[in-house]
Amino acid sequence: MVLGALGLYQPLVDWGGAGATVPLTGFGNTLAKGVKDAVKEDGLLGVITGGVKAAAGGITAAVVFGYLAALIFKPKDKS
């Protein structure tokens, strides 16, 4: 998030490609970018809503695909 706030993360994404947008590092960047854009549009309210709006698609996809995987595959004991 610090690199995103300083404007240094996007050049890293452009150079590194998909490796810089994986869930752990990319999620913080997505939240920061969403908050920054929402603050420009909505003012102080954007601090609260921006990150949620920006990350909603990724979070929804993770929940849906996790649920589908749980329906398709049967868990087994490790023993």
pTM value is 0.57
Residue 18 is predicted with a pLDDT of 66
pLDDT in tens, 4-63: 777 787 888 788 776 666 666 677 777 788 888 899 998 888 888 888 888 888 788 888
Which residues have CB under 8 Å from 20's CB, separation 6+? 9, 12, 13, 26
Helix (H, G, I), strand (E, B), or coil: what is residue 75? Answer: coil
- Residue ranges making up the domain that contains 49: 2-72
- 77 within some domain: no
User: 5 is written with which tokens?
Assistant: 């706030």
Nearest C-alpha neighbor of 37 from the set 48, 50, 21: 50
- 79 within some domain: no
Domain count, the chain: 1
The rounded radius of gyration (Å) of the Cα atoms in the chain is 16
Helix (H, G, I), strand (E, B), or coil: what is residue 49? Answer: helix
